[in-house]
Amino acid sequence: MGESCNGHSNGHSNGHSNGYSNGTGVTHVAAHPVQDQSAASPYQSVQDYISNVRRYKIIESTLREGEQFVGAFFNTETKIKIARALDSFGVDYIELTNPCSSPASFEDCKAIASLGLKAKILTHVRCHMDDAKRAVEAGVDGVDLVIGTSSFLRQYSHGKSMEMITKTALEVIAYLRRSVGPQPIHDWRQINCQNVEVRFSSEDSFRSDLVDLLALYKAVDNAGVDRVGIADTVGGATPRMVYDLVRTLRGVVKCDIECHFHNDTGCAVANSHTALEAGSTHIDTSVLGIGERNGITSLGAFVARMVVTAPEYTQSKYNLTELKALETLVAEAVEINIPFNNCVTGFCAFTHKAGIHAKAILANPSTYEIIDPKIFGLTRYISIASRITGWNAVKSRADQLGLTMTDDEVKEVTAKIKQMADIRPLAIDDTDSILRSFYIKKSYRTMTHEYGRFYHQGLWLCTRSELSEFIEELEEAISRARTGLEQPTSTKEWEDIMAIIEGLDDLRCKALREEGKMIQREEREERLKREKRGKR
Ligand SMILES: CC(=O)SCCNC(=O)CCNC(=O)[C@H](O)C(C)(C)COP(=O)(O)OP(=O)(O)OC[C@H]1O[C@@H](n2cnc3c(N)ncnc32)[C@H](O)[C@@H]1OP(=O)(O)O
Ligand SMILES: O=C(O)CCC(=O)C(=O)O
């Protein structure tokens, strides 16, 4: 049985107070190292020559894509707070809203670019000369160019043909290159000595013509971009589609490949992982996945996935224990709750309920956990307040509360908990109360019995060592009775226990007085003996 924690339980898990936690009847158990999964875990994907799962980079777009979330409004101060928190978490890039969006967007871009963060600061702009110029003025480390390439976007968004897109893209890329320093035209990559990165991305890549798309990517790659991007703008791609497209593109361009997945059909994290397996190098995320419509790959869910796939890389590169605070910061900024079923930080993400699960979790958490909550600075919990609770879980709770019980007693009290849980949902306080009441009744019986024994044992038959032993036993009994007193379930029980304590205390005083007298007697006898010896 795993070690249990003596901390008190308040029914909250992972620090959330979103209205569910008070009634969940959960209790936390001590962190228990997950069995080493590094060697044999089937969840770590095969590392072939093309896969980047063990060297991926995160382009964090809460301050760009996230600002497209309907509820988002970030003032400058909040943007800076979020940027600093992302930087501290360890993301490689922070992407900001187009500085053309508004005067404040431009100023915020400039302010964040001058913070001196470790993360590179990017801004996301239309593949258009005016936007590119403004991006450079904002002083960012890199510019993410984007333009729609699907027939939908060509017709209904910007109205450009593929030829026009290619022409504009090459002009803008050339401009960005010029704007960042001297041009050793023979080798575009050396221009990077100015530390400005250029990425070119197609919007709606999966609904774009593959031949056109690859030709465009080849052209911009030759023009010297640092990355090309693929975007599943409407969130319709499946992992297999992602694998095919990224794998094909990997064979066409030399530069890095960034991927951006919307979550309309719930595939964003899976698609991100698959993209890395297929040769993508950079993944776009946002905190809690916020973005246009229902958003994109969530940073937290993505690192949860990657800590399983690539534990050493992910844990050494990112400060995972900061995830909760980061998500809380963003959740508060956009006035949402962290969803109950959020990966890692959802309030029940590490809460185990069914008796079979709880027993095994107490013995070894790896039996029902793929991630050790400790990696994220969090705690696992066991719910012990339902009809599907088992005695092993109840025993662990009794241990936490410091209530010593035999297995048979725990089984008896488990039956009582189930009886009550069949009638109505229980909170942790209910089960604790059942446990305590059971314990007090048992202790009361024992105490009454002990009291009688002590009382009748009396003080007159004792030697001094018997008396000391008797006092020790009394003190233990008083302390046990006090434990009962801390957990009374009714006034009557409280009064009974008080009476017992007073009785025991009285006996203890008498015994101490007796002991004192004995000591004095012994000392007097000793003195007399010494005096007698002296006279002789
Ligand atoms: C899928 C994505 O998330 S892509 C990124 C989306 N991000 C944003 O839209 C950033 C926030 N947007 C904004 O602040 C504004 O839309 C701005 C400043 C970019 C443009 O604002 P406006 O000039 O008022 O235009 P509006 O938003 O109505 O329409 C978009 C314009 O961009 C054009 N456009 C769209 N994509 C591109 C592109 N990749 N390259 C060039 N032009 C483009 C459209 O044709 C349209 O131009 P129009 O004025 O000739 O009609
Ligand atoms: O720039 C990109 O790669 C992605 C743009 C975007 O937000 C999208 O297409 O959904």
DSSP 268-287: HHHHHHHHHHTT--EEEEBG
List the end-to-end C-alpha distance of the chain, in Å, as a whole number.
Answer: 69
Average pLDDT on 458-474 reads 75
pLDDT band at 465 (very low <50, low <70, confident <90, very high): confident
**For position 492, what pLDDT does the model report?**
73
Mutation probe of ligand 2 site: the residue of 233, 256, 290 with most atoms within 8 A of C-beta: 233
**For position 421, what pLDDT does the model report?**
95
Judge whether residue 320 has pLDDT over 70.
Answer: yes
Fold classified for 57-318? TIM Barrel (3.20.20)
- Looking at the CA of residue 203, tell me the nearest atom of ligand 2: 9
Q: Which ligand is nearest to the CA of 149?
A: 1
| Ligand 1 proximity of 126 Cβ (cutoff 6 Å) | yes
Compute the Cα dihedral for 488, 490, 493, 498 and give only its sign.
positive
Structure tokens belonging to residue 475? 């003190």
Judge whether residue 5 has pLDDT over 50.
Answer: no
| Ligand 2 proximity of 122 Cβ (cutoff 6 Å) | no
- Looking at the CA of residue 65, tell me the nearest atom of ligand 2: 7
Structure tokens belonging to residue 252? 């066409």
Q: Choose between 290 and 478: higher pLDDT.
A: 290
| Ligand 2 proximity of 203 Cβ (cutoff 6 Å) | yes
| Ligand 1 proximity of 233 Cβ (cutoff 6 Å) | yes
- Strands 26-29 and 142-148 come out as unpaired
Q: Which ligand is nearest to the CA of 98?
A: 1
Judge whether residue 7 has pLDDT over 80.
Answer: no
Judge whether residue 474 has pLDDT over 90.
Answer: no
User: Could you give the ipTM of this predicted complex?
Assistant: 0.97
| Ligand 2 proximity of 372 Cβ (cutoff 6 Å) | no
Among residues 124, 357, 449, 456, the one annotated as catalytic is 357
Judge whether residue 306 has pLDDT over 90.
Answer: yes
52 CB-near residues (< 8 Å, 6+ apart)? 276, 277, 279, 280, 281
**For position 30, what pLDDT does the model report?**
53
Compute the Cα dihedral for 367, 370, 375, 379 and give only its sign.
negative
Average pLDDT on 143-151 reads 97
Residue nearest to atom 8 of ligand 1 (CA): 98
**For position 440, what pLDDT does the model report?**
74
- Looking at the CA of residue 147, tell me the nearest atom of ligand 1: 39
* Residue 40 buriedness (CB in 10 A; 0-12 / 13-18 / 19+): exposed
Q: What is the residue extent of each domain of the chain?
A: 21-33+346-424, 57-318, 458-535
Per-residue pLDDT of 70-124, as tens digits, reads 999 999 999 999 999 999 999 999 999 999 999 999 999 999 999 999 999 999 9
Q: Is 352 marked active-site?
A: no
Average pLDDT on 245-260 reads 98
| Ligand 2 proximity of 349 Cβ (cutoff 6 Å) | no
- Strands 93-96 and 380-383 come out as unpaired
- Looking at the CA of residue 61, tell me the nearest atom of ligand 2: 7
No. of H helices and E strands in the chain? 17, 11
Q: Choose between 200 and 479: higher pLDDT.
A: 200
* Residue 241 buriedness (CB in 10 A; 0-12 / 13-18 / 19+): middle
Contact between 54 and 387 under an 8 Å Cβ cutoff? The reply is: no
**For position 415, what pLDDT does the model report?**
96
**Percentage of the chain exceeding pLDDT 90:** 68
pLDDT band at 18 (very low <50, low <70, confident <90, very high): very low
SS3 248: helix
Structure tokens belonging to residue 434? 């059942």
Contact between 426 and 435 under an 8 Å Cβ cutoff? The reply is: no
Beta partners for 146?
Answer: 126, 201
Write the single-letter amino acid at 84. Answer: R
Judge whether residue 137 has pLDDT over 50.
Answer: yes
**For position 372, what pLDDT does the model report?**
97
- Please say whether the structural domain 21-33+346-424 has been given the CATH code 4.10.430.20: yes
Per-residue pLDDT of 40-58, as tens digits, reads 677 776 668 899 999 999 9
**For position 98, what pLDDT does the model report?**
98
Residue nearest to atom 51 of ligand 1 (CA): 158
Judge whether residue 20 has pLDDT over 70.
Answer: no
**For position 482, what pLDDT does the model report?**
77
Per-residue pLDDT of 363-415, as tens digits, reads 999 999 999 999 999 999 999 999 999 999 999 999 998 888 999 999 999 99
Least confident of 158-162, 185-189, 397-401, 427-431: 185-189
| Ligand 2 proximity of 227 Cβ (cutoff 6 Å) | no
Beta partners for 298?
Answer: 286
| Ligand 1 proximity of 147 Cβ (cutoff 6 Å) | yes
Per-residue pLDDT of 261-299, as tens digits, reads 999 999 999 999 999 999 999 999 999 999 999 999 999
State in Å: Cα 237 to ligand 1 middle: 24
Q: How far is CA 245 from CA 211, 240, 257, 270, in A?
A: 11, 9, 11, 15
Judge whether residue 32 has pLDDT over 50.
Answer: no
Q: Choose between 24 and 100: higher pLDDT.
A: 100
Contact between 66 and 287 under an 8 Å Cβ cutoff? The reply is: yes
Contact between 371 and 378 under an 8 Å Cβ cutoff? The reply is: no
**For position 485, what pLDDT does the model report?**
66
Mutation probe of ligand 1 site: the residue of 73, 98, 203 with most atoms within 8 A of C-beta: 98
State in Å: Cα 224 to ligand 2 middle: 20
**What is the rounded CA–CA span in Å between residue 360 and residue 475?**
38
Contact between 420 and 386 under an 8 Å Cβ cutoff? The reply is: no
| Ligand 2 proximity of 165 Cβ (cutoff 6 Å) | no
